[in-house]
Amino acid sequence: MRLAVISVHGCPVRQIGLGSAGGMNVFLLESMKIMSKFGVKVDLFTRYHDDNDPDIINITENARVIHLKIGKNELSQEKIYDLLPDFVQEIKNFTENNNLTYDLLSTHYWLSGLVGNILKKDWDINHVSMFHTLSLLKQKEFPTMLHSIERKKSEFKIVKESDRILVWSEHEKKSLLEYYDAKSSAIKIVSPGINSDLFHPEIREQKKIKKDVLKIIYVGRLEPLKGLVTIIKSLSELNDLDISANIFGGDVVIGETQRLINLSSDLGVTDKINFHGPVIRELLPDLYRKHDLLVMPSFYESFGLSILEAQSSGLPVIASNVGGISTIVKDNVTGYLISPPNNYLLFSKKIRLLANDVSLRMKFGINARNHAKLFDWNLVGKDLVYAHKFMSRKHLL
């Protein structure tokens, strides 16, 4: 089976934490690897994001990233939207020049879904789409975040014309049914995966873990939607404890880091929080192991890949109870789920509880590791592969 993957704005080899690069980029890279492992040949088409990007990058023997030069490297979604016809034409030029045909289209995010709607008809193959985030859900949870009317209309169009929609959680499926009038039969839940051998815990004796000392980690993009204000306000309630927070990730909204630094100064917690910017992904496994707790106070998350990575590394998680997070964080088992997301007093209360109770922290960490192993790519990858093969032209023939 030969699969064409479209990811207009998200390149799987781009450094995570730069601009909008996040969990979707990681998912694309890891899913390419697992698909090729099961014999699927994968070509992923995306835009150049850097002048040094090679035309083609081989991820595995059967999977490659193909960069297409469409517009300037760094463009807003609105500017990319205007260039989608050019992107479609460049894909057609590449496939025709190289005598390529595909058995299935897989698209990621709404911009790519529009490309898939066109190529599906031109190539006469099925189109499987993944949204990763939905504008109506983000706006519901965070009303001040406005999205273009083009995006909203496009999402409805993609839902209507896709042959299959893959989602990460029951919450996302219900949301598509409720807000987008999707057909239940067209939706299939597949889980993102984790390399549980790479993200593994550090073995520590309970007696060597200090009470009232806690190192918190946050990994993700920096934007108001992620709710880092809640972390800062929570720290201001914990001045009597030896608690620190390390924030890894780059600005999506220009000036977001400085805004958060200013708030930290206003609340007197600059000595408790450090902003490190984007981090090379290869360093993440060790970084998780050097911390005691992950905190994720997002207003919206379709899944939350860094949560899964942290739990696989043996860390308990305190997170907002939104989106698909409840799929991976089990309340009072692997950590705590907080509602509403900006309830910093409840976040601080749960942080204090885990700081004071070392045995509970360790118990949650063990539970978190065991739960995360259920999402190992060797287990969930088969479902992802089957979901694609089932919709391929060869299978239907």
The predicted pLDDT at position 397 comes to 41
Q: So where are the chain's domains?
A: 2-193+376-396, 206-375
pLDDT digits 0-9 by tens, 141-199: 888 777 789 999 999 999 999 999 999 999 999 999 999 999 999 999 998 899 999 99
Closest listed residue to residue 33, CA positions, set 379, 395, 377:
377
Would the pLDDT of 227 be above 60? yes
Distance between CA atoms of 48 and 69, rounded to whole angstroms? 6
Confidence grade of residue 371 (pLDDT, cut at 50, 70, 90): very high
| Matching residue, tokens 């780059």 | 250
The predicted pLDDT at position 111 comes to 96
**pTM as predicted:** 0.91
Average pLDDT over residues 113-132: 96
User: Do 20 and 9 meet the contact criterion of CB atoms below 8 Å apart?
Assistant: yes
**63-68 and 104-108 as β-strands: parallel, antiparallel, unpaired?**
unpaired
How many CA atoms are closer than 13 Å to the CA of 330, on its beta-carbon side? Answer: 13
Distances (CA, A) of 110 to 10, 161, 245, 364: 11, 12, 34, 37
- Could you name the CATH architecture of 206-375? 3-Layer(aba) Sandwich (3.40)
User: Do 128 and 42 meet the contact criterion of CB atoms below 8 Å apart?
Assistant: no
pLDDT digits 0-9 by tens, 161-174: 999 999 999 999 99
Q: Which CATH class is domain 2-193+376-396?
A: alpha beta
Same fold across 2-193+376-396 and 206-375: yes
Amino acid at 237: E
Distances (CA, A) of 27 to 4, 71, 181, 279: 16, 25, 26, 17
- How much of the chain, in percent, has pLDDT values that exceed 90? 79
**Partners of 167 in the β-ladder:** 189
